[in-house]
Structure formats: structure tokens, C-alpha cells
């Protein structure tokens, strides 16, 4: 054990050996946090005699969980099998499988994905007589997810927004959505956390069982937790208080997913006796790269503060290429990669990171033209393909016969000439008899026509087949018995789609080989929790294209940060909020620290984006990197300054607490202007009240509360507002 500990630096070793009591490890990018976590587990088991059964280790991705478990197994052997090394969601699935019946659900519940969520929200909107144009399903889904992340029930949501017309309608959708989920015995991803918290809060004996089991808890990436996840951990660790959380407030970039940076910033408020250790030595990047990252992130105020350092030497300067346009930018990246390939680097050593997916189109065109291998990691996932989703819907219905959402998807897939009228009849009978749609078909087998009866017989046969056969054989039988394989014979892309289903069957066989005691339930849970990053193949020799958000947790010898332009990165929306700008800066910090050896930053003098060609200036984040760290190549044309808008960059470095953002002295727009409190009308959104009016260059940014659609942010020159008397 001492030999292992001697390989750690002093701060890492201190974090490993501090076992009892709450511990906050502020781990900078590339500072060896996974090594700390795995060595800490090994130390707990071998030196302190702590049972693996009493240890819970939580990560955010399956990939990270597998990596941690693999490392722990190498250190402690088969003892690792008694530990829980899981993501938040997979840990909650396992807890709910055991006790969700306490909340009125069946333990055979299914987990629906975002596409099924969208279909269900649309169904709710229709039943409530609400227009999708006024309440777009994705917007409603986002509101419901935000509510669940904050442990807000439909009833509480209704009370919180009783004076907001739009959100009152969303509250009605939320309530009906939850009712339909429970009737179908389905959960969405946010339910997994929220219902586990509810289970613990309402069932002291269940909470006590898991508190006694998990006497030592470790949580990775704590800066990415939301309120529900934070509450879950506080409940579990509240008695023994042996909680180690590892994270980096400078890498908190998922507010849009509900992450709450205050969970890590205010950790000591929940656990006043906390010991804090900073890991600042970086083992990934060169000194110049870290100096760039440190100089950017120091401009943020919402942080605990640390400074990364390394003993790897200064390394290359950061290459900055100022391109004429997006085509010039893409050509530079492609040609530089080709040159690096000739110098001995593999293409999978290189990654292109961007703020917005829309900026990747020209890159892909240029790379294809120049025959440079690449892959877009955030493209269409294998499990998002229609044929795969259809097959999984069949499997979900076999596992949970109450799953009306899955039944509606596949009852006429492939076509059985079962139309909407028949489906509505089945649904009406199910509602009248308070049962699932499949049960309604069983109860009235001959009442809905031969096609429906044949569908029921097929499902009944497959349910019996599942009990006696392997998972891979079941998937294959579903493909054949339902007629799905035959239907693909006449499909334009039938061969490709057939191959995809056979790949699903192969995946089921591999799962069986690697999990000998796994049940059909285990396999389905595994499918539901897979993410695209989990399938990242590091061995494939192709350059990687991905967003900076997707790149978090990864590292590459060579990184290209493209579209480093003001208005794209940081994006325009962040110009209206100091908090959003700080998150954009943290995202920049994440992007920079993905690079191990070389970092290239590219900007464009102009670019076509969203169908419009516009001039751009380099990002303010580039200005925050000292010139001595940069090697700049300027290929931009010499143009008159009038080509660019005259507005100044917004500054949030010293923002008054009562101000949305720093005011500028730019001229006001022509035409009528408005002040907070004024009542106005908008051609599309109708009547509203000005909440805030702030100069933005030669325009004014208005925040307006509309009666019909809620709050909107609009620019005066384009809004064409009219005053109401």
C-alpha cells in the first residue's frame, strides 16, 4: 500500500488518507482526480478494513464508472464486486427496483427516452386543448425537467406560478404527464432521482437501510449535480457524514441541464466540518496551455480559486489563425492536421471543438473533399435510429405490459392496418376499465378486429418466449415474429437498417457474455442508461469533431478550438447575464484544458451562419490570453472599420449586484423607446409589460412579460413594439 501512496503528490495523498468526515477535493483539470478516488477506495479497504459493501462511488457517465471500477479491480481484486460504482441514474434505478412499490409503482417499471417524452407531452397538450405553437413540446419538456431537478411536484409548480398564465398551462400538462406515466408504470430520467429522494423522505426504514449500507460515499464531478442529486447525497450521508466529493467549480458548464454550481461552492454550509484540499498540479498539459487557461478563468468571480501548474515544460505557443471566413478556417484546420499526420501524429490524436453544432457543416465538407478521416461524436446515436427504437419499444412492452407509450409506438409498426380510430377505441376502453391498453385488448380480444387480435397473440407468444430463452434469442425472435425484418425487405434503406438490428442482437449477445447472471430487466436498464460518450472508440484513427460540452472529461494531444468569435463564443445570449458569461468562460477553460501538447485557436473575419453572412471579431476570451503565449497568423483582409458594428464589448468584470449588466454610452436607436413599467404590444406575442430596458450598442435590449407567452428578450430595432394607452 505504501508503494502506491508514494506515487501520489502530497495533496493527492492527503485526500486519500482523510477518511472520516466530509471532504471537499477541488480537483483542477488533469490533476489526477480519478487516481485519488481509486487509491482512496483501495486505502479504505486494505488499510482501514472498511467493507466494500459499505462503499458507494458515484460518477456521471457509464464510461467513467467503468473506468473507475476497472482501476479499483486492479488495485483490490474481486473485493471490488461488492461495491457500488455507478452513475446517479443507475444507482437510483437499482434502489427503485427494490422499493418503488412504496410509492405506488410496480417494480417492473420502464424508463422512457426523450422521444417518448415528446410524444407523451404532445398527447397531453392535445387532450387539454392546448396549441403546440403556443406551448412547444420541447419547451414544456424543459420546464418539466427543470421542475423535477428542483424537486417541484405538479401541484407545487401550479402554486409557484399561479399568476403566470403560460406556466399555469404547463402545470396542467405536467400533472397530466405524470398521471399518464404512472398509469403506464413508466419513469423518465428525471423521475429516477426525484422519486428516489421522495422514497427516502417518506420511508425512514428504506433510508435507514441505505444509510447503514453506504457508510462511505464518494461523488465525482460534484459541480455538475443538480438540486435533486445534491439532496439525495445529503440524505444518504446525513448520519455518518463520511462523504468525499470531488469536483472543479471552474468546470461547471451544465446549467442548461439543471446543474447548480452552488452545490460545490456552498458545500461547507451543508457540512460545516468539511476539510478542503486543492489539487493544482496538472499532469496533462504544457505550461503555456495552463497559463492560457489560468488567465482566462481568473476573470470569473463565482469561484473558489486555484491555479494549475505543471512540471512538463512550457511547450509550444498557442497557435492563433485569423481566417478570412469559415472556408478559410476549415482549410487551415484540415491542412494543419494533414501536416501533423505526416509528422507522425494519428488523426485520433486530434480534436476539433466548437461552441455550436451549426459551425461544423463547412468543416465536414472540407474534410470530405480533402479525404481526411473524421467522425462527429454527437451525431445520430445508434440507439436513436428508428429501427432500434422500434425494437426497444417491443422489448419494453414485453417487460412491462402496462406500457401504453411503447404499445402506441409499435402496434402498427410494421403496418398492420391498425388506424387511429381503432387505437382511440382501445384507449377509451382502457380508461373506462382502468387498465392498460394491452389488458383492454386481452379483455375484448375479438372486439377490435383481427389485426389487433393477431398483434395481441404475437405479444403473448413473445412474453412466453422471454421466460425460457436468452436475451439475444429474444431480440432476434422479436425481429422475426413481429414481421419487422420482412418489412425492411422493401425499404429503401432496408439492408442498412437490417444490419443495425443485427448489431443490436450482437450487442445483446455481448452483454450476456460479459454479465452471466444478468436478467432481461438488467439488460433493459442498461439500454436505457447508455449515452453517446459511452460508445466513444479511442482506437479509431479519425479526427474527432464535437462540442466543447461533449468534450468534458476527455483529452487529446492536439486540440483546435474553432469559431472563437464574439457572438458565437461567448454566445450572444450570455451578453445579457453576468452569470451566463461566467459559464461561457468556464466552458472556454474546459476547451483549453482538453489539450495536452498543442492548442490551435481559429477565428473568422466573416462567416455565414444560420443563412446569413455577418462580420465577426475575435472572442473576448482570446483577449484574456497574454500575447506572449500566442503565435498569431493573420489572414484576414484589410477592410474599412465600418464593416464592423460599432458597439463595444460588454464587460461583466465588475457588475453591480442590482444590475443586469454594465450599461454602455452608445447612442439610442431611432424611433420610440420604452422604460420599465410601460405597456406595449408586439405583432406576434401580443400585450406585455416592460420589465427591463438596457442600452446595447445602438439598440436597446428589452425584457418583456407577455400575457400569453411569458417573458421574452427582444431588441428594440427588430421588435417593432407599440405603446399601449
The whole-angstrom separation of Cα 106 and Cα 182 is 9
The whole-angstrom separation of Cα 615 and Cα 607 is 7
The whole-angstrom separation of Cα 468 and Cα 314 is 63
Q: Is 221 a catalytic residue?
A: yes
Question: What ranges in 266-401 are assigned the alpha helix state H?
Answer: 267-270, 287-297, 326-342, 360-369, 386-399
* Four-residue CA torsion sign, 540, 545, 550, 552: positive
User: Is the bond into 414 cis (omega within 30 degrees of 0)?
Assistant: yes
Which one is catalytic: 322, 416, 485, 594? 594
Which one is catalytic: 38, 225, 251, 603? 251
Q: What is the DSSP letter of 57?
A: E
Degrees to nearest 5, angle at CA 302 with 298 and 306: 45
Which one is catalytic: 33, 86, 408, 586? 33
Q: Is 413 a catalytic residue?
A: no
CB neighbour class for 554 (10 Å; exposed up to 12, middle 13-18, buried from 19): middle
The whole-angstrom separation of Cα 387 and Cα 389 is 5
Are the beta carbons of 230 and 197 closer than 8 angstroms?
no
Cell of 334: 484540415
Q: Is 594 a catalytic residue?
A: yes
* Four-residue CA torsion sign, 142, 145, 149, 154: positive
- CA 417 and chain centroid, separation: 38
Give Cβ neighbours of residue 204 (< 8 Å, ≥ 6 apart): none
The whole-angstrom separation of Cα 80 and Cα 240 is 22
Q: Is 33 a catalytic residue?
A: yes
State how beta strands 374-376 and 595-604 pair.
Answer: unpaired
Which one is catalytic: 79, 123, 191, 221? 221
Which one is catalytic: 11, 99, 188, 220? 220
Write b or e for each residue in 575-596: b if 16 or more Cβ atoms lie within 10 A of its Cβ, otherwise e: bbbbebbbbbbbbbbbbbbbbb
Q: What is the DSSP letter of 110?
A: E
* Catalytic residue positions, numbered: 33-34, 220-221, 251, 594
Amino acid at each position: 500500500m505504501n508503494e502506491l501512496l508514494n506515487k501520489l503528490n502530497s495533496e493527492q495523498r492527503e485526500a486519500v488518507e482523510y477518511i472520516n468526515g466530509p471532504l471537499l477535493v477541488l480537483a483542477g483539470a488533469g490533476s489526477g482526480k480519478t487516481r485519488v478516488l481509486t487509491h482512496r477506495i483501495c486505502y479504505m479497504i486494505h488499510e482501514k478494513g472498511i467493507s466494500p459493501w459499505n462503499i458507494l462511488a458515484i460518477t456521471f457517465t457509464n464510461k467513467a464508472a467503468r473506468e473507475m471500477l476497472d482501476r479499483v479491480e486492479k488495485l483490490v481484486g474481486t473485493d471490488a464486486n461488492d461495491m457500488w460504482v455507478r452513475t446517479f441514474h443507475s444507482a437510483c434505478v437499482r434502489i427503485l427496483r427494490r422499493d418503488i412499490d412504496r410509492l405506488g409503482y410496480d417494480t417492473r417499471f420502464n424508463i422512457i427516452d426523450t422521444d417518448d417524452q415528446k410524444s407523451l407531452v404532445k398527447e397531453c397538450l392535445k387532450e387539454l386543448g392546448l396549441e403546440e405553437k403556443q406551448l412547444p413540446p420541447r419547451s414544456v419538456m424543459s420546464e418539466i425537467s427543470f421542475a423535477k431537478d428542483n424537486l417541484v411536484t405538479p401541484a407545487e409548480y401550479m402554486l409557484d406560478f399561479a399568476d403566470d398564465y403560460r406556466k399555469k398551462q404547463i402545470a396542467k400538462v405536467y400533472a397530466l404527464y405524470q398521471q399518464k406515466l404512472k398509469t403506464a408504470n413508466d419513469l423518465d430520467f428525471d423521475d429516477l432521482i426525484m422519486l428516489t429522494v421522495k422514497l427516502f423522505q417518506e420511508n425512514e426504514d428504506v433510508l435507514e437501510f441505505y444509510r447503514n449500507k453506504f457508510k462511505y460515499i464518494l461523488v465525482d464531478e460534484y459541480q455538475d449535480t443538480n438540486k435533486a442529486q445534491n439532496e439525495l447525497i445529503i440524505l444518504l450521508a446525513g448520519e455518518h457524514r463520511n462523504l468525499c466529493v470531488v469536483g472543479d467549480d471552474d468546470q461547471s458548464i451544465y446549467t442548461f441541464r439543471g446543474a447548480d454550481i452552488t452545490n460545490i461552492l456552498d458545500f461547507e454550509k451543508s457540512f460545516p466540518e468539511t476539510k478542503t484540499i486543492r489539487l493544482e498540479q496538472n499532469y496533462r498539459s504544457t505550461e503555456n496551455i495552463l497559463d492560457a487557461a489560468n488567465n482566462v478563468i481568473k476573470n470569473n468571480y463565482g469561484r473558489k480559486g486555484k491555479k494549475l501548474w505543471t512540471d512538463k515544460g512550457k511547450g509550444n505557443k498557442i497557435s492563433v489563425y485569423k481566417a478570412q471566413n469559415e472556408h478559410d478556417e476549415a482549410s487551415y484546420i484540415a491542412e494543419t492536421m494533414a501536416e501533423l499526420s505526416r509528422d507522425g501524429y494519428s488523426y485520433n490524436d486530434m480534436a476539433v471543438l466548437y461552441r455550436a453544432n451549426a459551425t461544423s457543416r463547412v468543416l465536414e465538407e472540407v474534410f470530405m473533399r480533402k479525404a481526411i478521416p473524421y467522425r462527429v461524436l454527437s451525431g445520430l446515436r445508434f440507439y436513436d435510429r428508428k429501427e432500434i427504437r422500434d425494437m426497444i419499444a417491443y422489448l419494453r412492452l414485453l417487460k412491462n405490459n402496462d406500457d401504453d407509450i411503447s404499445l402506441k409506438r409499435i402496434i402498427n409498426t410494421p403496418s398492420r392496418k391498425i388506424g387511429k380510430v381503432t387505437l382511440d377505441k382501445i384507449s377509451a376502453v382502457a380508461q373506462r376499465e382502468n387498465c392498460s391498453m394491452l389488458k383492454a385488448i386481452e379483455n375484448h380480444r375479438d372486439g377490435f378486429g383481427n389485426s389487433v387480435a393477431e398483434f395481441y397473440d404475437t405479444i403473448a407468444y413473445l412474453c412466453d418466449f422471454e421466460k425460457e430463452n436468452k436475451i439475444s434469442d429474444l431480440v432476434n425472435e422479436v425481429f422475426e415474429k413481429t414481421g419487422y425484418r420482412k418489412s425492411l425487405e422493401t425499404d429503401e434503406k432496408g439492408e442498412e437498417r437490417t444490419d443495425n438490428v443485427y448489431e443490436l442482437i450482437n450487442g445483446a449477445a455481448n452483454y450476456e457474455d460479459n454479465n452471466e447472471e444478468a436478467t432481461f430487466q438488467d439488460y433493459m436498464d442498461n439500454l436505457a442508461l447508455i449515452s453517446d460518450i459511452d460508445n466513444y472508440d479511442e482506437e479509431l484513427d479519425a479526427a474527432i469533431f464535437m462540442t466543447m460540452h461533449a468534450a468534458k472529461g476527455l483529452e487529446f494531444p492536439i486540440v483546435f478550438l474553432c469559431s472563437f468569435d464574439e457572438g458565437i463564443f461567448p454566445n450572444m445570449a450570455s451578453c445579457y447575464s453576468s452569470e451566463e458569461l461566467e459559464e461561457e468562460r468556464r466552458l472556454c477553460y474546459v476547451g483549453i484544458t482538453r489539450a495536452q501538447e498543442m492548442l490551435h485557436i481559429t477565428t473568422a473575419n466573416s462567416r455565414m451562419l444560420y443563412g446569413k453572412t455577418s462580420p465577426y471579431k475575435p472572442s473576448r476570451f482570446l483577449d484574456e490570453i497574454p500575447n506572449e503565449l500566442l503565435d498569431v497568423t493573420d489572414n484576414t483582409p484589410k477592410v474599412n472599420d465600418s464593416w464592423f458594428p460599432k458597439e463595444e464589448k460588454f464587460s461583466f468584470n465588475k457588475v453591480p449586484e442590482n444590475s443586469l449588466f454594465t450599461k454602455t454610452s452608445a447612442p439610442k436607436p431611432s424611433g420610440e423607446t420604452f422604460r420599465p413599467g410601460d405597456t406595449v404590444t408586439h405583432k406576434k406575442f401580443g400585450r406585455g409589460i416592460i420589465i427591463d430596458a438596457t442600452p446595447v450598442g445602438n439598440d436597446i435590449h428589452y425584457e418583456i412579460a407577455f400575457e400569453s407567452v411569458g417573458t421574452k428578450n427582444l431588441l428594440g430595432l427588430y421588435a417593432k413594439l407599440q405603446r399601449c394607452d
